A and B are shown apart, each in its own frame.
Chain A
Amino acid sequence: MTATATEVAAPPAAEAAARRRRARRRGRTVALLFVFPALLLLGALVVYPVLFSVGRSLFDASGTRFVGGQNYTEMFRDPATLKAVRNTAIWVVVAPALLTGLGLILAVLVEKVRWATAFKLLLFMPMAVSFLAAGIIFRLAYDEDPDKGVLNAAVVGVHDAFQGSSAYPTARARDGQGLGEAAGGGYRTSTAVSPGDTVALGLVGVAPKDLPAGARPARTAAGREAAPGELRGVVYLDFTRGGGGEPGRVDPEESGLPRMTVEAVRDGRTVASTTTAADGSFRFADLADGSYTVVLPGSNFAAPYDGVSWLGPALVTPAIIGAYLWIWTGFAMVLIGAGLSTLPRDTLEAARMDGANEWQVFRRITVPLLAPVLTVVFVTLVINVMKVFDLVYVIAPGPVQEDATVLATQMWLVSFGGGNNQGLGSALGVLLLLLVIPAMVFNVRRFRGSQR
């Protein structure tokens, strides 16, 4: 039975083998059709450009003369590209570490609140925002004018709350009206005064709209007699709106200057200090006899505190890194949070039962167990940070571009943005590629490992 079956099946077997071969050949053709579009594009627009750039980087700016490694040495000699190399180094050292740390802290803390999901969504959302939009957002936030930039508004607010702000940055004395300049930008009476005198210190240069609310006319106070041992006076705005006032005299409508610091100085030593009232009046009681000068110290006239120049040459890179943190912290937090949820609950609980406090649990158990996830987050961020372009290009204002420049922006500037040195530009591109080659090797190894 079996023999017959084999015999009968024999001729079709040869035919089947041929058919299988044919099918296999057809299968290969089909397979190549499936991969062809991808391979064509990858070959023409990715692989070929890499090879081309490597070759091009060995030629000079115009591409006619072979210069060998000269573009690569030039890169570390030219101050602009050297600056870019340095800034990229700062980025790579600072940003991934900060992000991983912040992400870890937030991932651990957010598990303790009920609105964890909403918080994660909020922090992750900037990942959807383009670097350009984020750049505009932060150009706005970092604006130097405290009336525009929210960050400087906050800084100035805090500064003024602790230091006080000077009330009269624009005020000054008229020449020849009894006030001379004192050290430190203030004013002093040019003649000596003694207890029992009443002095009138007239200033100009304060616009009526800039007068503190509640300032009252100074005339009444200016007319008051000083008691013995008392030195009296007014500080007033020696200016009548619409004209008609007489310089050096306290005219009826002229306002006192409140909250002005006044000092009584004798032999170069400040013996008493006070501030003026709403009508600009002040008095020093119980002064010993002698001759004094009355001083309006420079602090009354100091220019207002303007806050921090975030986008100035010194702070521009940290400021842009701040914007980068805004975008990527959610990413780090969510990825680390995912790792956190796979930790064995029992181990953590057991440690707590044994009396470990939260910090010990975090330090001794959570972090070591999370190490692989933290490494992945860190490495991913390093790769991304090395290629940062848009954010620097958008946030750094024109004049500080060269202080903020990184490899990717420098590559752009050198190749297309006026530099027009495509040899050096290609070399910078190749440098970027070289920097990510460890990541490339890591990816390939990990993939091969996963296939075994």
Chain B
Amino acid sequence: MSLGALRRGLGNSLVQAFLVVIGLIWLTPLAGLLLSSLRSAEDTARGGWWTTFTSPGQLSFDNYAALLENAGITRAFWNTVLISVPTTVLVVVIAALAGYAFAWLDFPGRDTLFLLVVALLVVPVQIGLLPVAKLFGQLGLFGTIPGVVLFHVSYGLPFAVFLLRNYFAEIPKEMLEAARMDGGTEWRIFTRLVLPVGRPALASLAIFQFLWVWNDMLVALLFADSSSQPLTVELQSQIRQFGSNIDVLAPGAFLSLIVPVVVFFAFQRHFVQGVMAGSVK
């Protein structure tokens, strides 16, 4: 082995060691949450979660069993589902329709309107809170799940329309013209040609949007009342007593994060693409 190779080998093991340390640092907080969620309140008061390494007898699923009995938490979990699934479907459908029109249909003001959509990409959610709250108050939507969904859909649309319009615009012109020659209506072309071709973009968008809404706290904090609030808000309301209720907060937080994490591992590629594309928000 030459000296250079030796040095490279040594350098490489240093790199490996460094990355292992970084990996452990990244894993530790998560391990802390998981192990804390499996310990009783008494054990938590007595010592840190790392004591489970030496006395694993502390670990049990009792907290999770208690969580399933906790009406506030279970309702909040279902509210999260009832908010994020319809939002995702609506955003994808509405944005696909608009994206196709912006890409391939002709109507007055099309290009100006699309530039407006691009401009709206970075508008912070905060600026909409107060006016929309007033509006929803008048419409009777304030404090309801449909209200939360409508708000999310509106603020998800600029990015969704932008993404899908750009993707649809890449569809070869000949394909669409051939379909029109065959006498297909726009609706037929949209459902039979554009949607199937756009599947990868639709999937990335759906995953990104689902994640965004599932994890939201700010919007629901304002627009949901105690009967329509999602898991994030329910847990947030209990954080004031942090320290005395880790046996509720830790499993609750784990419940809230396991869904997106499973989605992440199941759809890695779409997930990364969606998050990358969506980061312009």
Contact = CB atoms under 8 A, between A and B. Distances in A.
B105 A30 contact: yes
A426 interface: yes
Contact of A31 (B107, B157, B158): B107
Contact of B108 (A28, A141, A338, A380): A28
Contacts of B176: none
Contact of A397 (B49, B115, B242): B242
Contacts of B249: 136
Nearest to B12: A112
Interface stretch (A122-130, A158-166, A226-234, A265-273): A122-130
Contacts of A444: 115, 118-119
B120 A136 contact: no
A326 B124 CA distance: 23
A141 B154 CA distance: 36
Interface residues of B, number: 101
A383 B151 contact: no
A443 B280 contact: yes
B178 interface: no
Interface string B26-39: 11111011001000
Interface class of chain A by DSSP: helix
Contacts of A397: 242
Interface string A129-140: 111110111111
A8 to B, nearest CB: 23
A112 B127 CA distance: 45
Interface in B115-160: 115-132, 135, 150-151, 153-155, 157-158
A408 B128 CA distance: 12
A133 B256 contact: yes
B257 to A, nearest CB: 4
Contacts, number: 276
Given A46-B120, A150-B49, A389 B218 contact: yes
A211 interface: no
A384 B28 CA distance: 25
Contact of A429 (B98, B130, B154, B252): B130
26 contacts: A30-B105, A32-B107, A37-B94, A38-B94, A38-B98, A49-B131, A50-B128, A53-B127, A119-B19, A123-B22, A128-B260, A129-B215, A129-B260, A130-B215, A131-B215, A137-B29, A138-B29, A143-B243, A147-B47, A148-B48, A334-B276, A387-B126, A408-B124, A430-B127, A440-B119, A443-B118
Shortest Cβ-Cβ A-B pairs, 9 listed:
A130-B215, A31-B105, A38-B98, A45-B154, A34-B101, A49-B131, A31-B107, A52-B131, A128-B264
Interface of B: 11-12, 15-16, 18-19, 22-23, 26-30, 32-33, 36, 44, 46-50, 94-95, 97-98, 100-102, 105-108, 110, 113, 115-132, 135, 150-151, 153-155, 157-158, 161, 186-187, 190, 211, 214-218, 221-222, 232, 235-236, 239-240, 242-243, 246, 249-250, 252-254, 256-257, 260-261, 263-265, 268, 271-272, 275-276, 279-281
